[in-house]
Amino acid sequence: MSTTYRYASVVVDDLTAATDVFERLGTRTTWTGTHPHFQTHAALCATQRGGVLLLQQAQGAHPAVRQFRDARERYFNLCLGVDDLQAQRSRCAGARHVTGVTDEYLGPAGPSFAVELSTGGQGTLWVEFVPATAPSVGHPQSAFSRVESTAMVAPTREALLEPFRELGLEPDARVSGAYFAVLAAANSVVSLGWHYLEVNEPTGEGAMAGFLKRLGRPGIFGLNLEPVDMGAFVDKAQKESIETNTPAPIVLRLALHGIVMDCADFITVSPRATGGARLFILTPREYPWALLGE
């Protein structure tokens, strides 16, 4: 059974302001409304392939949304497309790490159901599923060609990989085991075609360990967006006064099975700029797409 990526969700305090920031960054808003399960106003901000769902922090929202009221790190949900929605539902219902399966509802990406995934007694991660036949999330005029990957972190990679396997998501040995010295973390990769899920495990003090300490449980560290034109993005961010960690992209390096490689040129957009979503704007180099044959 193949699995494809649709979007990740992030909780924001001011939906209108956050949507405006994402529009100024270069996404396009393709859906607005009330999320049937998470019970709050939402906006889907699309790249050309994949997007970010912004969920309004509100008094009447689902507890999964309200728990992020005072949090700095606010990603909590993935939406994935599957070949057979009912077969996936049956699979989830029998999974040891699934603590709940919702009724079907019409969500931002089509007919959906959601599961709450236990991550080893250290919190939960919500995952929505939609049929692969549902329209893809995307807008041809976005300044981003895709949501290239989703970076996640856990005390041990198995804390997320074990429940992911129960959902039919297997790590790819060809590109797993990379070590990022600047992040002090090692990864495992679940390939989803043009997108991948990256599960990172801190190996010492660094950005990943600090994130995990602040969040207090496994979760999404950030989304990696690939711009159509990196130079144009940098110019736009400066023009729009959107906060980035460096004025220009830097190279992210890693070691995979003893071989040093350049992963990507990237620049970070602070969660302060977006209202809660850490974004890595990157242009891939050698890893992982060259090794995956993409």
Question: 3-state SS of 75-136?
Answer: EEEEEEEECCHHHHHHHHHCCCCEEEECCCEEECCEEEEEEEEECCCCCEEEEEEEECCCCC
Q: Where in the chain are the domains? A: 3-131, 144-292
CA distances from 144 to 22, 55, 121, 137, 231 (A): 11, 21, 36, 13, 12
Max CA separation in the chain (angstroms)? 51
pTM above 0.75, yes or no: yes
What is residue 122's predicted lDDT score, i.e. its pLDDT?
A: 64
What is residue 1's predicted lDDT score, i.e. its pLDDT?
A: 56
CATH of the domain spanning 144-292: 3.10.180.10
What is residue 124's predicted lDDT score, i.e. its pLDDT?
A: 80
What is residue 212's predicted lDDT score, i.e. its pLDDT?
A: 87
Instruction: Annotate the chain with three-state secondary structure.
Output: CCEEEEEEEEEECCHHHHHHHHHHHCCEEEEEEEECCCCEEEEEEECCCCEEEEEECCCCCCHHHHCCCCCCCCEEEEEEEECCHHHHHHHHHCCCCEEEECCCEEECCEEEEEEEEECCCCCEEEEEEEECCCCCCCCCCCCEEEEEEEEEECCCCHHHHHHHHHCCCCCCCCCCCEEECCCCEEEEEEEECCEEEEEEEECCCCHHHHHHHHHCCCEEEEEEEEECCHHHHHHHHHHCCCCECCCCCEEEEEEECCEEEEEEEEEEECHHHHCCCCEEEEEECCCCHHHHCC
Closest to 247 measured CA to CA, from 259, 239, 255: 239
Say which CATH class 3-131 falls into.
alpha beta
What is residue 249's predicted lDDT score, i.e. its pLDDT?
A: 95
Note down pLDDT in tens along the chain; length 294 residues: 589 999 999 999 999 999 999 999 999 999 999 999 999 999 999 999 999 999 999 999 999 999 888 888 899 899 999 999 999 999 999 999 999 999 999 999 999 999 999 886 667 889 999 999 998 999 999 999 999 999 999 999 999 999 999 999 999 999 999 999 999 999 999 999 999 999 999 999 988 898 888 888 888 989 999 999 999 999 999 998 998 988 899 999 999 999 999 999 999 998 888 988 889 999 999 999 999 876
CA distances from 255 to 66, 187, 211, 293 (A): 39, 11, 22, 19
CA dihedral 71, 199, 1, 110 (to 10 degrees): 20
Query: For the chain, how big is the Rg over CA atoms in Å?
Result: 18
Partners of 5 in the β-ladder: 80
In angstroms, the CA 267 to CA 224 distance is 10
What is residue 294's predicted lDDT score, i.e. its pLDDT?
A: 64
Same CATH topology for 3-131 and 144-292?
yes
